[in-house]
């Protein structure tokens, strides 16, 4: 564990103890690109054995887009005494409806209410209403049913999987990350000397935040097995407003297939218009985008899914709306790759 105060409101925290849980989340993402780090650490036989040992966990969460929200509960944890056992106990101590409300990110679903969610734990009609809240997220009804009715078992199994993954191969890989952790700490420290914590967070994520706090505490956390380049968690209410920003220690290099995926996304005129609009005006709601580029609101979600899959846009829920913005870091990398492939003299 490493904890460094970089600023009166900013802390750099490295939690190697958290890596096995990130590894479990990575496996459950069930996408080859996102699980590359685990594939390099664990054999195919090990991964298949875990799927046989925890069939409910894999069958539920590989269809669940919210698996990464298991880290949201860290917002309530003291990080200076963190352990996986304590984290599991804290999550299991929550009433199941409160756990599900946060995991499913229902705060940003207009029709969601705690009464129906509580009833859904045992009532089929209420469960069907809950499914309607999240039906556009591509989760199956059976997966949601398992998540709602067996949340305690799924939490226990996820932490058991994390413990299984906490082996010597992971320990050796984490030892090799020491210089990368220090380099990231220096980068953040230098960034804080030039800009405030919120601006630095935006620059590191390549997006403009809609929810801007103010936060009482900013925590920057490196992670090796996180399946994404970065992940941000924050409290929007309560007395203690905290932002956690996870930053990947992995290479996350873009391949030729990623460049082609972006080119295909840009080949559509309306999607090109959406990106230029977001570049000029910053994050906008889907309804505003539809009006500005003259497309039907029913087709906005399709275009935004294509752009999200290409990595060119970001998405941030604010109250009952979703705001989409240009991922400036991803766009800059894409343009650099085009320059390298077509204009470089080397």
Q: Which two tokens stand for residue 296?
A: 């039907």
pLDDT confidence of residue 240: 65
Of 172, 185, 147, nearest to 41 (Cα)? 172
Q: Above 70 in pLDDT, residue 237?
A: no
Q: Which two three-digit tokens encode residue 28?
A: 């459950």
The upper half-sphere exposure of residue 96, i.e. CA atoms within 13 Å in the direction of its Cβ, equals 17
**Whether the predicted pLDDT of 255 surpasses 90:** no
**Does 254 have pLDDT greater than 60?**
no
**How many Cα neighbours within 13 Å face the side chain of 229?**
15
DSSP character string of 51-89? HHH-HHHHHHHTT-TTGGGGGGGGGGS-GGG--HHHHHH
> Which pLDDT score is estimated for 184?
92
Quote the tokens at residue 100: 């599900």
Q: Is the pTM of this model over 0.95?
A: no
> How many Cβ atoms sit within 10 Å of the Cβ of residue 142?
11
Answer whether residue 201 shows pLDDT above 60.
Answer: yes
Backbone angles phi, psi at 109, to 5 degrees: -105, 115
Average pLDDT over residues 220-227: 93
Which pLDDT tens digit goes with each residue over 5-55? 998 899 999 999 999 999 999 999 876 666 778 888 999 999 999 999 999
Structure tokens at 51: 């799927």
So what's the pLDDT on residue 285?
87
- Which strand (E) or helix (H) includes residue 168? helix 168-175
pLDDT for 32: 64
Q: Using one digit for the tens of pLDDT, what is the confidence trace for 160-170?
A: 999 999 999 99
For 106, the token pair is 């229902």
Q: Residue 83 — pLDDT band, cuts 50, 70, 90?
A: very high
- What pLDDT does 319 receive? 67
Residue 236 pLDDT exceeds 80 = no
All structural domains of the chain, each given as residue ranges with its CATH number in brackets, are 2-14+194-248 (no CATH), 16-171 (no CATH), 256-342 (1.10.10.10)
With contact defined as beta carbons under 8 Å apart, do 30 and 62 qualify?
A: yes
pLDDT tens digits, 291-322 = 998 988 778 888 888 888 888 888 887 766 78
Mean pLDDT of the chain: 89
What is residue 8's three-state secondary structure?
coil
pLDDT over threshold 60, residue 222: yes
Q: How far is CA 26 from CA 74, 113, 159, in A?
A: 17, 30, 13
DSSP state, residue 318: E
């Amino acid at each position: 564990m490493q904890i460094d105060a970089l600023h009166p409101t900013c802390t750099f925290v490295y939690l190697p103890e958290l890596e096995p849980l990130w590894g479990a989340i990575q496996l459950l993402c069930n996408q080859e690109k996102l699980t590359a780090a685990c594939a390099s650490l664990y054999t195919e036989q090990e991964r298949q054995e875990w799927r046989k040992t925890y069939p409910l966990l894999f069958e539920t969460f590989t269809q669940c887009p919210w698996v990464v929200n298991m880290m949201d509960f860290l917002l309530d944890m003291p990080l200076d005494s963190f352990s996986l056992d304590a984290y599991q106990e804290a999550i299991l101590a929550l009433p199941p409806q409160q756990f599900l409300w946060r995991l499913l990110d229902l705060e940003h679903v207009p029709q969601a209410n705690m009464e129906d969610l509580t009833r859904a734990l045992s009532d089929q009609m209420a469960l069907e209403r809950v499914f309607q809240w999240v039906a556009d997220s591509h989760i199956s009804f059976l997966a949601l049913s398992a998540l709602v009715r067996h949340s305690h078992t799924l939490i226990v199994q996820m932490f058991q999987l994390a413990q299984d993954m906490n082996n010597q191969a992971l320990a050796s890989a984490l030892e090799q990350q020491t210089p990368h952790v220090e380099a990231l700490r220096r980068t953040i420290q230098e960034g804080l000397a030039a800009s405030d914590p919120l601006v630095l967070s935006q620059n590191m994520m390549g997006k403009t935040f809609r929810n801007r706090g103010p936060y009482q505490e900013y925590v920057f956390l490196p992670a090796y097995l996180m399946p994404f380049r970065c992940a941000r968690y924050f409290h929007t209410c309560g007395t203690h407003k905290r932002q956690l920003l996870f930053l990947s220690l992995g290479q996350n290099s873009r391949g030729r297939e990623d460049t082609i995926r972006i080119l295909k996304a840009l080949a559509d005129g309306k999607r090109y218009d959406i990106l230029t609009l977001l570049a000029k005006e910053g994050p906008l709601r889907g309804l505003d985008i539809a009006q500005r580029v003259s497309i039907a609101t029913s087709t906005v979600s399709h275009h935004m899914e294509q752009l999200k899959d290409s990595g060119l846009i970001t998405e941030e829920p604010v109250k009952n709306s979703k705001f989409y913005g240009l991922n400036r870091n991803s766009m800059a990398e894409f343009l650099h790759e085009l320059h390298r492939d077509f204009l470089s003299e080397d």
